[in-house]
Amino acid sequence: MSKSSSSSAKSRFLDVPIEPFEIAPDAPADELLRRMERISFQGRNLATAHRIWRRMLADDEVVIFLGVAGALTAGGLRLAIARLIRDRAVDCVVSTGANLYHDLH
C-alpha cells in the first residue's frame, strides 16, 4: 500500500474526535446511537449502521436484503428472523446452507 493511500485510509478514522459521554437512564436508544458516532471501536460502527438504517427507512423505494451466515437459527435467532420476514421488514434473505439446514432439523 502506498503512503498516500495509507494516509487517506487512516484519515477516515482520525477526522472525528472521540467524545466520551454518560448514558442517561431515560435516554432513548436513538439518542444513544447518535452519540456513539463520536466514540471508537464498535460503537462508532454501530452508529454508522444506525445512520444507514435510518436513511433506508426514509426511502420509499428501498430494497432491504438480510444476509445471514453461521448458525443463527441454532443460536436462537430463528424467531427474530421469521418475524422480520413475516412483517415484511426485509425484502430478500440471503443465507448460507447452514442456516437452512439447522432450521429444518
pLDDT tens-digit map of 81-98: 999 999 999 999 998 887
Cell of 100: 437452512
Cell of 70: 453461521
Q: Which residues pair with 95 in a beta bridge?
A: 68
Q: Which residues lie below 8 Å from residue 67, measured CB to CB, with a gap of 6+?
A: 94, 95
pLDDT tens-digit map of 22-75: 988 999 999 999 999 889 889 889 999 999 989 988 999 999 999 988 878 778
